[in-house]
Amino acid sequence: MNYKINELFETIQGEGSFTGQPSIFIRLQGCPVGCSWCDTKHTWDISVDDQVTPASMLTKTEETSHWANFSPKDILALVNEKKFNAKHIVITGGEPCMVDLTPLCQLFEQQGYSTQIETSGTYEIITTDKCWVTVSPKINMRGGYKILSTAMARANEIKHPVATDQHIDELKALLAEHKVKDTAIYLQPISQKKRATDLAIATCIANNWRLSVQVHKYIGIE
């Protein structure tokens, strides 16, 4: 099986439960959800005109919609070739759950890595039992996709972007609908604006939830 890879790099995880964890990010191409505040819109479309060689994809110096096909073994070989030190894999996008992620996660877990998926919750999550699943539910987005009960049930953590009280109300309605229990709930201010941050802090305290502040953006790393 091949995966359409837009980026592969080593950095520090800046969000959710693994904040501060050295991580290898595998960014997949393709997402029809259509979030207005998305900061990776270059990963939305899958065009054959944007397909490049693996070598070309790896030499990109700016964000582009260019992608290349990699098998799980190709990705593992690349990670070994680059001598990355991180032992935590983060599969993101785009919307990574558009494809079966089991072969990719299974291979890395067999090599002693931990794996994590960041998904919108609008696609079935097909992965290993050990994989940590972060659902960042994208509610009423342009693409018209619904949040799946199976995705909410599989989530190890729920990380919800917020800017207004409406976003809080939408999350509470979603949690009530899907009867989520014993799952870490994170609020993540959109665009690091003070109003959104203040709202997130107050709501986290009121509900005993957690705050995710996108540390990587504050310290200026990818």
- In the annotated binding site for substrate, the residues are 12-14, 27, 92
Angle between helices 72-82 and 102-110 (to 10 degrees): 40
Q: Is 203 in contact with 162 (CB distance < 8 Å)? A: yes
Which residues are known binding-site members for S-adenosyl-L-methionine? 37-39, 94, 136-138
Amino acid at 155: A
Separation of alpha carbons 42 and 93, rounded Å: 10
Which residues are known binding-site members? 12-14, 27, 31, 35, 37-40, 92, 94, 136-138
Which residues are known binding-site members for Mg(2+)? 40
Residue 75 CB-density burial (10 A; 0-12 exposed, 13-18 middle, 19+ buried): buried
Which residues are known binding-site members for [4Fe-4S] cluster? 31, 35, 38
